[in-house]
Chain A
Amino acid sequence: MRRPKSSPKSLLDMQTAVQTLILGTAIGGVYALMGVGLNLIFGVMRVANFAHGALYMIGGYAAYYLTLATGAPMPVAVIGAMVVGGCVGYFVNAILLRPVYRSRLERPSEFTLIVTFALSLMATSAAAVFLTPNYRKFEGMWPDTITLFGFVSMSGDRAVAFVTALILLCALLWLVHFTDLGRGWRALTQNRMGADIVGVDVFRLANLAFATSGALAAAAGAVLVPLYLAYPTMGESVIVKSFVIVVLGGLGSIAGSLVGGFLLGWAEALGSVYIGSGYTDIYGLVIMLVVLLFLPRGLFGISEREV
């Protein structure tokens, strides 16, 4: 630790650390995209969407088959995947979750938990049966390895995934903070009855939240296929990560999920370099537990009344 600064060993250490953080940031952007979408639904409707990973998987396959069938370039494939994910999200809410909006339903959150969990299992099995469990891949936009600052190397596709995630995150923040739709979502997140009495169309806004969330999850799935491939169970570890991010950042807080996504990316990257690469999925959970121990509402969680 106390070696002179200029020694080649410590320079190497520094470079490893920087490389690790940059890789963590790159994947963190995509994680944030997943977390933000899940948290949007949680905020607007107070329900956990267990089909979020399935939408990620659907996005991956949609992009794959679009490229396969039409030879469309990556950006088109991603947009296509977003349209598919958005439509699936919209109709899941509009058709299957409709009973939640009838005031007579006694346990809306249990109902959605069961429905979305069942949907997720069905989607995974359907993919295995109809699309085979084979791993699928298409060529990304930038398959070469790129080098930053002379010592950080990562695949160009990773950079593409990060930039795409960043663009979509900015678009979502704009939607939430500068449009009437976003204002309605924020109102619903902050006070459901308040939104009801001022005439916010809860059902329509929830449909649109599901569509947006589905589109974001599908985009995340699509941009990662060139790196991690598409296969039926690809959404399973991602849904766990998404929940970790949501809890880490605070339920209902979009900014919290943004930060949570990057924290998870860094934790995984640092953990696998400095502790061991066999337990990547554990690091996020550990960070989450530690944060919850000191901040039970998550990093940006606001009090129950304010959500």
Chain B
Amino acid sequence: MITRPRRTEAAAKPSGRVPVDLVATGLRVAYERDVEILRGVEITAAARRISLVIGPNGAGKSTFLKAVAGLAPVTGGLVTLGGVDITRWRPRDLLAHGVALVPQNGTLFPAMTVRENLQMGGWLRRREKAWLGESIEAVVNRFNLPRHLVDRRAGDLSGGQQKLVEIMRSMIMTPTTLLLDEPTAGLSPKMASQVYEQIAALPGDLGVTVLLVDQNVRSSLAISDDVYVLAMGLNNDRGTARDITERLGEITAGWLRQGVSGAVKS
């Protein structure tokens, strides 16, 4: 039985966090009428595990994350969080239930400083000033962000630095389910491996369920538990990280044959 709970901001607090599965069944998305980008995608992000979604450019990976996060028009199917129907919820309500997204493209506030951007991550808990200050301090330390960058305008940072701040901001949002869209795109190898380390630690340290979309297949497979392969808006393959790693050559060869797939007229 699927129920719709009251949407409260209180749920964003880490107290009483119960790790739950995020399940998408038969998810369909169309930005324009008759052009379906997702055509019935089935993906489960199991509680306290890292689930990886890979696939060729234009497969619909970002669209999938956006649809789950309430930012893309869902035309069919269901998304549930611990059995609760969260399909088409607004990002704000999802965040209040612990679901946070770091999109693929830049979402920082360029005219605000890095600190102000991180503070925006605590928007739902903005009255808890002391907590917010401590969380920002902790995140800056954990990600080794150079001190002098904290009071710089976010728009003046390099692309890689901006991406890092975005990931840091999502930590301030204290999610229980974190959706990450290519978190290491544009990062230097050193920074990237540091970010992967942080992501890998999320389920164990903070009980976070991670749903990761990544082009950096080898590195992301190394930290993932379950893997889904999308192509042309459909599930193409799935397996454990070990299983997919073994068959990776065969899978990516398939992508080349298909070429870059896009929308398919229904």
Contacts and interface: CB of A to CB of B under 8 A. Distances in A.
B109 to A, nearest CB: 4
A197 B110 contact: no
A198 B173 contact: yes
Contacts of B203: none
Contacts of B106: 191, 305
Contacts of A200: 92, 120, 123
Interface in B107-147: 107-112, 116, 120-121, 123-124, 126
B71 interface: yes
Contacts of A14: none
B69 interface: yes
A103 B75 CA distance: 12
Name which of B96, B101, B112, B116 has the most chain A CB atoms within 10 A of its CB: B112
Contacts of A190: 109-112
A187 B154 CA distance: 12
Contact of A183 (B71, B110, B120): B120
Contact of B123 (A103, A199, A306): A199
B121 A196 contact: no
Interface string B59-84: 00000000001011100000000000
A194 B120 contact: yes
Interface string A163-198: 000000000000000001001101100110111111
Contact of B126 (A180, A194, A202): A180
Nearest to B100: A197
Interface in B85-104: 91-92, 95-96, 100-103
A198 B71 CA distance: 13
A2 interface: no
Contacts of A193: 71, 103, 105, 107
Contacts of A186: 109, 111-112
B169 A198 contact: yes
Interface in B1-49: 12, 32
B121 A104 contact: no
Given A103-B73, A199-B123, A194 B92 contact: no
B155 interface: yes
A201 interface: yes
A11 interface: no
Residue picked from A180, A190, A200, most chain B C-beta under 10 Å? A190
Contact of B110 (A103, A199, A305): A305
A107 to B, nearest CB: 12
A196 B91 contact: yes
B109 A187 contact: yes
A126 interface: no
A128 interface: no
A247 to B, nearest CB: 20
A104 B95 CA distance: 21
A68 interface: no
Interface in B180-233: none
A104 B124 CA distance: 26
Nearest to A306: B110
B155 A198 contact: no
A223 to B, nearest CB: 31
A273 interface: no
B69 A197 contact: yes
B110 A184 contact: no
A202 B71 CA distance: 13
A103 B89 CA distance: 11
Contacts of A197: 69, 71, 91, 95, 100-103, 107
Interface string B148-169: 0000000100000000000001
A118 to B, nearest CB: 26
Nearest to B169: A198
A302 interface: yes
Contacts of A195: 109, 120
A198 B175 CA distance: 11
A103 B173 CA distance: 23
Interface in A94-145: 103-104, 106
Contacts of B124: 198-199
Contacts of B109: 186-187, 190-191, 194-195
Contacts of A106: 32
Contacts of B123: 184, 198-200
7 contacts: A104-B73, A180-B126, A187-B120, A190-B109, A196-B71, A197-B101, A305-B155
Given A190-B112, A197-B107, 8 more contacts: A106-B32, A187-B120, A193-B105, A195-B120, A196-B91, A197-B91, A201-B92, A302-B111
Interface of B: 12, 32, 69, 71-73, 91-92, 95-96, 100-103, 105-112, 116, 120-121, 123-124, 126, 155, 169, 173
